[in-house]
Structure 1
């Protein structure tokens, strides 16, 4: 190698670290900050800290219209806005907006910006923010944000958010969120979300959502895998979750893979295909779509000679086998079905009729885990509650209050070879009848001994023992 080329290369290798050191020193020089006890500001750049107000950390600030500083430690009030480049703490009061970190990299070179990011640079707030329209923090917040409009934290939030329109967080959220329209969290939510219209988390919910519409990617509960002590609840008209291991209470519930409890008019869920020892949960509603283990019943009782029932629900403890997803349980002695019944009863002699709903547990015996073992499901046991509204004229709904609550227990077996798929059963029941005294207790034919049970407000009450005999398909 020629001597001149060798010397040039040596100079370059020597200058590179010197240039880098010079840039680093320059960055440190430009990022240098100053501290002040008090700042008075008219507009950003017109203040007691001069045009370089963005380089000052203040303990107390009073901004007549708007203020700009690197940070504030204790108290700050502004008629319009308060704006900081860096992490702050204490109390912020603004007529329009508190903004922390919106211009975190303003006036910095690319080298300076990369140096800050490499050092895990963050702009956070710890304290109390009150604004007429907006509270904004670039990264993390610990404390309270109260706004008539919007509250936003870019990453994790811990504390209390109250907004007239909406609250949003870009990461994990722990605390209470109250909003007139929406609450949204990109990460998990542990705490309470209450909104007038919509609550959302794109990750795990271990808390409560209350709104017209609630959505969570995964709701934690006692049947979650792995096990957890966290619990979750959604209360609204429409509730959504892809993995619902908590509780949903609403008009329509979408549970996805549901291992929790759904209480609603209509429940949607997937048929659970699992090798795990986990309960499939409990759907409680008039219609349950994704149903497993539905049955059809025809029976006679002391109220109506003819009764029809059709159930929807799920199998609580079924496991996956080679024969399909509806296998016998591994560890328990009975296959357990959670079933919701739509009920219709009719008395052809008196022309009385009734309709209602009931929830019942159906237990089918297990002899072995083998799916084709003929000893399986020979016996059936059913217990639960039925609610029936009684009507005096066929196909006419009586507007008076006539409600029978019926606790029942039934036991049966499968038939002979000819009726191999039919269960014959009998049962007993305890009935509690609340009725309008203007109708009288003799308005309905009750084929059992009745007992007066006092009054409940303006309604009279009767008790009687009941029975039933029928078949189940």
Structure 2
């Protein structure tokens, strides 16, 4: 057993260097060794360099760059024969050409806490090129066999809340003891990994690798049966894919392209492009593009584009369209929420909510269309529905009498400029009929006491003394009313009503329409259809 130290021990050099940002450098060196150049780049960027010294040319190198990105500088320094792989804070120098033959190297070891020397379980150990991985057991020990392009393998060792380490392994090496140094900054658990559905489909080993490893790599394509059983292996949670195909379920760092899943797609971080799943898409950060799912799309942060799901869509800020068979939820929406049952927006809606039953938003700056519409505040726009409830806006109960039914009850809700009306009435006396209707209206204050209003409603009339009549039997009413405020919450209203009545008499009681509207302005019978118009009245008290 032997203790392993890092490959990097650099002397302080009097170099003409000046620190910029983590990935942009200014560097001026002449006739310097590669080791000295790597040392300078470490001081500038914080990146640590690992390499097989046999690969590094002996001739000196010249470099003069001003405010250049680190990848550009490395390409200039390494030339055409060398390349590099970035793993977290480490940059590993590798041959540019892939060798025709791969060597197999096995390594064993134990990982200890540098302060307490206690064994560390669930530490990620992986070869940096092909990302072949292993994990330490309860005794802090691991065994790893990997195919490498050189006689030297670089093995990265990572654990959440510990400083990453890279060791160099050759076929002669047998056993390593590596000390990991704890870091004070505690890493927060990725929110995607806390979801029950993700935990059910993803093995704890796969999630632990994703939590431990600090690298992020982009690959052109991957195929997955289940998380861990994929071309990206157990470190799939740290890989960003351009094309991803998940037969049952997939688990990745991010998506920037196209992803198809038979059942479930899971991205720990962001996504862009097209994501389609037979059941569910989950994205832990933002998503830009199109999401399609048979059951649900879940984007934990902002979404822009088009979400379509058989049951539900969820995102924080939505810019675009949410289309769901059951439910759409968002914190803020700039666009449209369209659902078969309900839309919920806990912040500001700047756009349209359209549902088969209920819409809700905290602040309305657009339009709601549904049976029930709810908002705490209306900055602009209006709602169309049977019930529209807004804080400090119009929602009143009205008792009234008119020329057809002497006893009526209505509920009016919405805005003063545009409100909905639900009404029902009865004439138990000579008319022997009852009615029900829907419509909308608008009212405005002429002064502190006087109110003017107009309403348009469609009413169906039915007899009390016979069976329910099918077919057309509709009374379209347009009323113009003046009102006065009696108290803060009570007002009286009254005015003329213009009636347009249509009665399809086929199979119905032909004398039914004679019970009302006898002083007609217009009366016409054509076949089995009767139409007539007249002017009536209405008087009401609102509460």
TM-score (normalised: structure 2):
0.56
Matched, 1:239 2:343: yes
Do structure 1's residue 203 and structure 2's residue 317 form an aligned pair? yes
Distance 1:179 1:94 in 2: 18
How do 1:355-434 and structure 2 match up within 5 A?
355-365=436-446, 375-383=447-455, 385-393=456-464, 398=468, 400-404=470-474, 406-414=476-484, 422-431=491-500, 433=502
Rate the CA distance shift 1:193–1:453 in 2: closer, same or farther, 3 A: farther
Q: 2:305 aligns with which of 162, 172, 191?
A: 191
Structure 1 residue 343 displacement after superposition: 0.8
Question: Which of the pair has more CA radius of gyration?
Answer: 2
Alignment partner, residue 235 of structure 2: 103
1:334-373: CA deviations, max 9, x gaps? xx343222211222212100122222222223xxxxxxxx
Distance 1:449 1:125, change over 3 A: same
Residues 253 and 262, structure 1, Cα contact 8 Å, conserved in 2: yes
Contact 2:443 2:451 in 1 (8 A): no
Distance 1:68 1:293 in 2: 74
Number of the residue aligned with 2:419: 339
> What's the CA shift string for 1:36-79, capped at 9, x where partnerless?
8999xxxxxxxx7565896269xxxxxxxxx9999xxxxxxxxx
Residue 287 (structure 1) shift: 6.2
Aligned to 2:80: none
TM-score by length of 1: 0.63
**Which position in structure 1 is the counterpart of 2:537?**
468
Three-state SS of the structure 1 residue aligned to 2:48 is helix
1:306 deviates by 3.6
Corresponding position of 2:92? 31
Following the alignment from structure 2 to structure 1, what is the Cα–Cα distance between the partners of residues 296 and 314?
A: 8
Q: Which residue of 2 aligns with 1:158?
A: 272
Q: Does 1:125 align with 2:241?
A: yes
User: Per-residue displacement from partner, 1:135-173 (whole Å, max 9, x unpaired)?
Assistant: 44313x232211111112333322222111200112222
Aligned to 2:383: 282
SS in 2 for 1:103: helix
Instruction: Check 1:300–1:292 CA distance in 2 against 1; reply closer, same or farther (3 A cut).
Output: same
- Structure 2 gap segments, 5+ residues each: 1-8, 14-34, 52-83, 86-90, 106-126, 132-145, 150-214
Structure 1: gaps (5+ residues): 1-12, 40-47, 58-66, 71-83, 106-121, 221-230, 273-277, 316-335, 366-374
Distance 2:494 2:147 in 1: 80
Matches within 5 A, 1:224-303: 231-245=335-349, 246-248=351-353, 249-271=355-377, 278-279=379-380, 281-286=382-387, 288=389, 290=391, 292-303=393-404
Counterpart of 1:88 (choices 219, 226, 236) is 219
- In the other structure, the counterpart of 2:412 is 311
Corresponding residue number in structure 1 for 2:129? 55
Whether the 8 Å contact between 2:322 and 2:328 is mirrored in structure 1 is: no
- Please tell me whether the aligned partners of residues 241 and 256 of structure 1 are also in contact (alpha carbons under 8 angstroms): yes
Alignment partners' CA distance in 2, 1:14 and 1:257: 60
Tell whether the 8 Å contact from 1:431 to 1:463 is kept in structure 2 after alignment. yes
Alignment-derived partner of residue 446 in structure 1? 516
**Contact 1:363–1:382 (8 Å) recurs in 2:** no
Retained in 2: the 8 A contact 1:387–1:404? Answer: yes
Q: What is the alpha-carbon distance in structure 1 between the residues aligned to residue 148 and residue 382 of structure 2?
A: 55
Q: In angstroms, what is the RMSD of aligned CA positions? A: 4.3
Change (3 A) 1:427 1:297: farther
Change in CA separation of 1:54 and 1:241 when aligned onto 2, cut-off 3 Å: same
Please name the residue that 1:320 is paired with: none
Aligned-partner Cα distance in 2 for 1:289–1:338 = 12
Preserved contact between residue 403 and residue 434 of structure 1 (Cα < 8 Å): yes
Paired residues of 2:103 and 2:147 also in contact (CA < 8 A): no
* Mapped partners of 2:357, 2:525: distance in 1: 34
Name the residue aligned to 1:112.
none
Q: Which residue of 2 aligns with 1:217?
A: 331
Query: Equivalences for 1:319-338 in 2 at 5 Å?
Result: 336-338=416-418
Superposed, 1:132-143 pairs within 5 Å as: 132-139=247-254, 141-143=255-257
Count of aligned residue pairs for this structure pair:
362
Work out whether 1:148 is the aligned partner of 2:262.
yes
